[in-house]
Chains A and B, each alone.
Chain A
Amino acid sequence: MEIGIGAYVVLSAVLFTLGALGVMLRRNAIIVFMSVELMLNAANLAFVAFARQFNDVNGHLFVFFVITVAAAEVGIGLALIVAIFRTKKSINIDSMNQLKG
Chain B
Amino acid sequence: MSEFDTLASYLSVAPEIGLTILLLIVLAFSVARREVERAAVPYIAGFGMIALAALPLIFAPGDANSTIPEGLYWGGMIRYDVLAQVFRVMILLAGGITALMASGVRGVGRRGEFYIVIIVATLGMSLMSASADLVMVFVALETTSIPLYILAAFKRDDTRSAESGIKYFLFGSFASAIMLYGLSLLYGFTGQTNIYQLAAFMGSDAFANNLVPVLASMVLVVVGFGFKVSAVPFHFWTPDVYEGAPTPVTGYVSVASKAASFALLVRFFVAVYPETLALSGESLQNFWIQLMAVFAVLSMTLGNVLALSQKNIKRLLAYSSIAQAGYTLIGVAAIQSQELSIASVGFYMFMYTFTNLAAFTVVILFSEATGSETIADLAGLNRRSPWLALAMTIALLSLAGIPPTAGFFGKFFVFNAAVRSGLTWLAVVGVLNAIVALYYYLVVIKVMYVDRSEDEDKPIPVGRQYVWVLWATSLIVIVLGTVGAQTVYDWAARGAMGLFT
Report which A residues bind B (CB closer than 8 A).
9, 12, 16, 19-20, 23, 29, 32-33, 36, 39-40, 42-44, 46-47, 49-51, 53-54, 56, 58-59, 61-62, 65-66, 69, 72-73, 76-77, 80-81, 83-84, 86-88, 93, 96, 98-101
Contacts and interface: CB of A to CB of B under 8 A. Distances in A.
Contacts of A100: 240
Contacts of A101: 239, 310-312, 315
A98 B163 contact: yes
A84 B183 contact: no
A33 B170 contact: yes
B162 A83 contact: yes
Contacts of B159: 87-88, 98
B248 interface: no
Interface in B149-184: 149-150, 153, 156-160, 162-167, 169-170, 173-174, 177-178, 180-181, 183-184
A18 to B, nearest CB: 12
A4 to B, nearest CB: 14
Interface residues of B, number: 44
B153 A73 contact: no
A98 B177 CA distance: 27
Nearest to B169: A80
A29 to B, nearest CB: 7
B243 interface: yes
Q: A39, A65, A69, A77: which has the most chain B beta carbons within 10 Å?
A: A69
A77 B181 contact: no
A47 B183 CA distance: 9
A84 B187 CA distance: 37
B475 interface: no
Given A43-B181, A80-B153, A87 B170 contact: no
Interface in B131-154: 134-135, 138-139, 142, 146, 149-150, 153
A39 B178 CA distance: 7
A53 B166 CA distance: 38
Nearest to A13: B181
A63 to B, nearest CB: 9
22 contacts: A39-B181, A43-B184, A50-B188, A50-B191, A51-B187, A53-B188, A72-B142, A72-B146, A73-B142, A73-B146, A76-B146, A76-B150, A77-B169, A83-B165, A84-B162, A84-B166, A86-B162, A88-B162, A96-B166, A99-B160, A99-B243, A101-B315
A36 B181 contact: no
Interface in B236-268: 239-240, 243-244
Contact of A83 (B156, B239, B244, B310): B156
A17 B243 CA distance: 32
Contacts of A42: 181
B193 interface: yes
Given A58-B193, A98-B163, A99-B244, A80 B187 contact: no
Nearest to B188: A50
B390 interface: no
